Every structure is written in structure tokens, then in C-alpha cells.
Amino acid sequence: MMKQASVVDLFLLLLAIPLLATPAFSDLVLSKVERRIDVTSQIARVTKTLKVVNSGSESVSEFTLTFPKFLGNNLAYLSVSHSEGKGKSKRSLATLSVEEAHPKGMPDSVSFYSVSLPKPLNKGDALTLEVVAAFTNVLQPFPEKISQRDIHLVMLQESAQYLSPYVVESQSLSIKLPNARIESYTKLENTKLQGSEIKYGPYKNLAQYSYAPIVVHFESKAAFAVAEKLVREIEVSHWGNVQVTEHYNLVHRGAQLKGEFSRLEYQDRPNPQGVSAFRHLLARLPPRAHSIYYRDDIGNISTSQMQSDSKKTELLIEPRFPLFGGWKTFFTIGYGLPLSDFLFASEGKRFLDISFGSPMIDLVTEKLIVQVVLPEGSKDISVTTPFAVKQSHEIKYSHLDIAGRPVVVLEKNNVVPDHNQNIQVYYKFSNINLLSEPLMLITGFFVLFITCIVYTRADFSISKSSAAYLAKLQWDEVLATLQEVQNIIHKCLAAHDKLETSLRDLSRTGDIQTCKAARKSTDGLLKDLSKELRPLLASLQSFPSASHISPKVEELVAKEKELQEKLMAKHTTVVEGYEKKSSGRDIENRIASQQQKIIALRQEVEDLLEFIDEI
């Protein structure tokens, strides 16, 4: 079908040329044209070196490139640059801007591209242009349906003579074929086959629009892997990660498989049948890619290998089955990249510098959708791309989002690996917006705690006069009183400790006055505390539910009082002893019995306190 259309096109073209009025193109002359076509992969790459000489009288600032329409429709990538020097000193200067042009009165079977020259070419000047063009779908499988055993033969149609609106003085064409069988090729004059390269030319002094169709039929061992649709999601998180997720819908666009697939023949050694299929796909990811996963709707696909070094990370994946012509598969690849490799700040704005196309080598993408998800709070978003893309905006709701994250969606059709250049996405973001995420979490936890507080404080009882409710209220009060009693007893014990320390100080320093002063202050403190205790004890006695506790509490208070008195007595004895300057041993003997009682009482007090604690 494709073949018939192109033949008709050629015929029309050959007819149209004599009918053309000489177009009003400038008088540029191409003094030397060298064309190299590389068809070792599924993409036909044409590299042309054109030496342009201005033989007219006016200076020219535009150059027109032409392709036959059946090639022009499949043009995926075109780049023109001008270079200087010859051989080793050749350097490539700036890439020039190319636009599709539709000059009036031109036949429909030719596509025109207009290149703006860097500076106008004056009379007699020469300029060297380098053109790189990549075409998809021009290697037509022929035969179109093959069985599992057949080899994959494809056909290329081109022109041995360079189709151009200018006069060409000398030109040559060389076609580089893969290192495999060459079925047939058109033999014109000056045709040579050297190894796996066919050379046509050099042809001299050709008129404008000269065209000599050639057909090359050869075996291709390249994998005709085409992604019908590739959705590439790039999510930027300022916490340190760029997450790339790629969803592939892959199809084998070579000759279709007819008949059945025999696994036995496919795995037969030494003669496996199934050369037209491909099993592996190689992806070149940026260095320091981490957390790489390869899965599809069924689950994880384990047939993959990864090799990383400081310049790149290579991922070799094998789909669940080999792909023959017409077969499809789908899978997802995801990986994370460190943020500082891709996000930069310049002039108050931040920009993300990341590659546009698929990281797989030699993959043609029919429809590529790149979604760049920027963090919440990004403003003034703009995108810079080295080639034309279709842009749109969306919102995505993800983790801890309030208003959603802005998404820039870039779409492009017919993407080849030559398009895998970097694009820049500019936006404004201040680091304060990063805080909104922990704040949300903190607020969540705080609400939980507030609920707890409200619950313990609120009164959820249904009946406010039932016996159980009243009993509970009373018990709460009993507990409160007990706690206060406990606090006071603790304070008393602290006062006792202070007395003991003063005694120890006395034995160390012999300062009687400070000791007496300490005793006086402690005495006063203890009197105050016992005063506070009395109303509490009274209220405790008034509660019927505390009837089993109040005797214990009274016991505690009584014991504590005893302890108090004994301590005071001991203190007085020791001080008197110091005043009389009697020896240490005397004092010890006098207070020995008292000391024992004190220790016993103290123990009982603490036991009672523990008991109250456990209520």
C-alpha cells in the first residue's frame, strides 16, 4: 500500500518537473553535496553536507531544503547547522532555525523547509551546511507478512540524485546497510557495493529537481520497537527527589507474523527460529538513579538487569515474551533521581533541566506525553524546549495536598532518540511552602490530642441523678482529697529530711545557731501543714464511700505526727549535747532508742503512703 502510493508520487513528480515554470528561487548553486544514509536501525538517518555558493548577484539569507513528500511526511527530526573548515579542523557552528515552508506554485509532492542563514550570503561567497534528518516508517517491511522462520527484509526508496531547487554541480550518495544480507538494489551508473555500503555517484552537473529513484531491499536485524503511546511523569519534590514514571505501550512495527508461533522452534538450539523478533530493550538512565522498578498490570517483571557507573545507569529489560511483528506489550518503568542533579536556581527562578524523550535507545515514540508535576505553591511556570511541543496545564492531587500540584503537559508526536535533549521548566517557589506539609501532619496529631482532652473533661452520662453517677462523682472528690493529703504528707516528710540534714550539718560544722534556726522554721512549716490537713480529714470522713480509707488516712496522719515529735525531741537532744560539749558517743547513746523508733515509724508512714497511692 505504501509502495503503491510512493510510486504514484514519483510518477507525478517526474511529470510535474517539466511542467514547472522555473521557480523564482535565488541563484544559489550547490557546488558539492555529500549524502550519507544510515539504515542500520529502524530509523533512517540522513546526513548531508552541502556546500552552497552564491552565483547570483543578490545576497541571499534563506536556503530551501526539499524532500519528496513520502519522506517529508515521515520526517521526525531535522536539524541544520553550518560548519567551517575541512577534515580535522571542521567545527560545527550554531544550529540554524528551520521552518516548514509552502511556496506558491510548487507541486504537492515535495515538502519544503526554509533555513535562515546566519548572515546573508553575498555574491561569490560559499557556505557549508550540515543537515541531519531522521525519518521513521520509511523502511517498509517487504514482504509485509512473514512466518517465524523468515528473515526480516525491508525496503528503502530514495533518490540517487539529490532533489533540490538549486543546480547541483557534484554530488554523491552512500547508503550504510546493516551487516546482513542485501537482497537487491537499483544499479545506476557509478554504483559500487563495498562491504555493506552502497555508493552512488559522484554525479556531476545536475539540473534543478533532478530525481533518480532507487530501491534497496535488504535484511534488517534491528529491533523495530515502536511505542504507540508513552506517558512520562516527572514529579519534583523539594525534599530531595525527582521521580520519573514511564508507561509504555510497545508494538513491533516490522513485518507482521503470519502463522503460528512455536516456542519449540524458538528455543531450538543450535538453530533458533525467530530472528525477526526482539527480546531486549536497553534504557540509558541518568547516573545516580535509584529505586528502579519494572512492572506491569500483572505485577513485577523480574527479567531485568541494571549496571551503573558514574556517567550513566544502564537498564536492560526483557518483556514477558519476545515481540514478533504486530505483537504488543505494555509495562511501567519508574526510577528516582537526586534533586540537585536536575534542579537549579538562577535569577530568582528555579528551573528543572531534564531530558525530554524516552531513555530507551532506538525507540520510536508515536505519541509522547510528558507530565512535569511541580510542588504545590509553584508559580509563574514556563517551559523552554529546543523543538516544538504542544503545552497544556493540569492539576494533580497527591500526598498532603490542599490545592493540588500544577502539572505542565507537553505532547509531541513522532519522537525519535534525536529528540532526547534537555528541556527546561522554569517556576518560582519559596521554601516556606515546604512547611505546609509537616504543619498538616502536626495539626492532625493535635486534633487527636484535643479530642482526648475533651473526652476526659466532658460529662457523657445520660442520667445525672442515678445512684451510680452520684457515686462516681463522690469517688472523684475522694480521690482529689486523697491526692491533696498525699501532697501534704510529702511536704511534711520533706521537712523532716530538712531537719535531718541540719543535724548532719551540725555534726560537720558545729554551728548551733543555724541548726536552731532550721528547727524553728521547720517547726512553723509543720504547724501550717497540719492546719491544712485538718479540713481535708474532716471532708474525707464525711464521704460514706471512703469509709474504708479514712481510718487508714487518720492512722497515717497520727503516725506522721508521732514521727514529727520524735524527730523534734531528737533534734533538741543533739543540740543540747553540742551546747554542753559532750562527746559524740554520749549523744549517740542518748538518741539511740529514739533513732530506732524514728526509723520504724518512717517505714510505716511510707507503707501507708504506698497503700493510698494504689487506690
Partner 1 sequence: MAATPIASPIAVAMYPTLSGITLAIGLIVTAFFFIYEATSSRKNRSLGMELSTAAAASLFLGFGSLFLLLASGVYV
Buried b (16+ CB within 10 A) or exposed e, 383-394: bebeeebeeeee
103 binds partner 1 (CB under 8 A): no
- Of positions 1, 94, 298, 345, contacts partner 1 by CB under 8 A: 345
- Of positions 9, 130, 233, 437, contacts partner 1 by CB under 8 A: 437
Whether the CB-CB separation of 199 and 36 falls below 8 Å is answered with no
Q: How far is CA 457 from the centre of its chain?
A: 47
How does strand 256-257 pair with strand 145-146? parallel
Collapsed DSSP state (helix, strand, coil) of residue 243: strand
450 binds partner 1 (CB under 8 A): yes
- Of positions 480, 494, 538, 600, contacts partner 1 by CB under 8 A: 480
**Residue keyed to cell 527527589:** 241
- Of positions 444, 510, 551, 584, contacts partner 1 by CB under 8 A: 444
Q: How far is the CB of 173 from partner 1 (least distance, A)?
A: 43
Return the range that interacts with partner 1 (CB under 8 A); candidates 97-105, 430-438, 547-555, 580-588.
Answer: 430-438
CA-CA distance, 556 to 279, in Å (whole number)?
88
510 binds partner 1 (CB under 8 A): no
- Of positions 11, 321, 446, 611, contacts partner 1 by CB under 8 A: 446
Spell out the residues 6+ positions from residue 585 whose beta carbon is closer than 8 angstroms to its own: none
Helical residues (DSSP H) of 324-462, grouped into ranges = 436-457
Nearer to partner 1, 432 or 592 (CB): 432
Nearer to partner 1, 323 or 343 (CB): 343
Does a cis peptide bond (omega within 30 degrees of 0) precede residue 178? no
Nearer to partner 1, 321 or 397 (CB): 397
Phi, psi of 4 (to 5 degrees): -65, -40
Helix (H) or strand (E) holding 513: helix 512-542
Locate 317 and state its grid cell: 529489560
CA dihedral 410, 413, 419, 422 (to 10 degrees): 0
Whether the CB-CB separation of 84 and 70 falls below 8 Å is answered with no
310 binds partner 1 (CB under 8 A): no
479 binds partner 1 (CB under 8 A): yes
**Residue keyed to cell 512547611:** 435
Q: How far is the CB of 402 from partner 1 (least distance, A)?
A: 12
Nearer to partner 1, 66 or 481 (CB): 481
- Of positions 61, 179, 340, 382, contacts partner 1 by CB under 8 A: 340
Whether the CB-CB separation of 374 and 406 falls below 8 Å is answered with yes
441 binds partner 1 (CB under 8 A): yes
Q: What secondary structure letter does DSSP report for 333?
A: E
With CB under 8 A as the rule, give the number of residues binding partner 1.
47
Return the range that interacts with partner 1 (CB under 8 A); candidates 203-211, 223-231, 343-351, 412-420.
Answer: 343-351
Spell out the residues 6+ positions from residue 79 whose beta carbon is closer than 8 angstroms to its own: 95, 98, 131, 132, 133, 418
Whether the CB-CB separation of 261 and 277 falls below 8 Å is answered with no
Q: How far is the CB of 167 from partner 1 (least distance, A)?
A: 46
In the sheet that holds 304-308, the strands lie side by side as 281-285, 313-317, 304-308
Q: How many CA atoms lie within 13 A of 258 on its CB side?
A: 8
Q: How far is the CB of 394 from partner 1 (least distance, A)?
A: 19
295 binds partner 1 (CB under 8 A): no
Whether the CB-CB separation of 502 and 515 falls below 8 Å is answered with yes
Distances from the Cα of 308 to the Cαs of 287, 289, 311, 317, 333, in angstroms?
Answer: 7, 9, 8, 14, 16
Nearer to partner 1, 120 or 438 (CB): 438
Spell out the residues 6+ positions from residue 419 whose beta carbon is closer than 8 angstroms to its own: 76, 77, 356, 357, 387, 412
445 binds partner 1 (CB under 8 A): yes
316 binds partner 1 (CB under 8 A): no
Nearer to partner 1, 167 or 537 (CB): 537
Q: Amino acid letter at 399? A: H
- Of positions 2, 12, 17, 339, contacts partner 1 by CB under 8 A: 339
CA-CA distance, 377 to 237, in Å (whole number)?
12
Strand-pairing partners, residue 95, are: 81
Nearer to partner 1, 558 or 615 (CB): 615
CA-CA distance, 89 to 104, in Å (whole number)?
40
Return the range that interacts with partner 1 (CB under 8 A); candidates 274-282, 350-358, 381-389, 554-562.
Answer: 350-358
Q: How far is the CB of 474 from partner 1 (least distance, A)?
A: 12
Q: How far is the CB of 464 from partner 1 (least distance, A)?
A: 15
448 binds partner 1 (CB under 8 A): yes
Collapsed DSSP state (helix, strand, coil) of residue 404: coil
Q: How far is the CB of 74 from partner 1 (least distance, A)?
A: 37
300 binds partner 1 (CB under 8 A): no
CA-CA distance, 583 to 427, in Å (whole number)?
89
CA-CA distance, 477 to 544, in Å (whole number)?
12
Nearer to partner 1, 184 or 487 (CB): 487
382 binds partner 1 (CB under 8 A): no
Q: How far is the CB of 241 from partner 1 (least distance, A)?
A: 4
Distances from the Cα of 538 to the Cαs of 247, 248, 480, 547, 554, in angstroms?
Answer: 80, 84, 14, 12, 10
- Of positions 97, 194, 302, 346, contacts partner 1 by CB under 8 A: 346
CA-CA distance, 317 to 229, in Å (whole number)?
18
Nearer to partner 1, 79 or 436 (CB): 436
Q: How far is the CB of 538 from partner 1 (least distance, A)?
A: 17
Q: How far is the CB of 334 from partner 1 (least distance, A)?
A: 11
Return the range that interacts with partner 1 (CB under 8 A); candidates 325-333, 364-372, 478-486, 530-538.
Answer: 478-486
97 binds partner 1 (CB under 8 A): no
CA-CA distance, 416 to 248, in Å (whole number)?
15
403 binds partner 1 (CB under 8 A): no
Q: How far is the CB of 369 from partner 1 (least distance, A)?
A: 22
Nearer to partner 1, 107 or 338 (CB): 338
CA-CA distance, 412 to 586, in Å (whole number)?
106
Ranges within 227-256 binding partner 1 (CB under 8 A): 235, 237-241, 243
**Site map (CB under 8 A) of partner 1, residues 455-474, x = contact:** -xx-----------------
338 binds partner 1 (CB under 8 A): yes
Chain contacts with partner 1 (rule: CB under 8 A): 235, 237-241, 243, 291, 336, 338-341, 343-347, 350-351, 353, 398-400, 431, 434, 437-439, 441-446, 448-450, 452-453, 456-457, 476-477, 479-480, 483
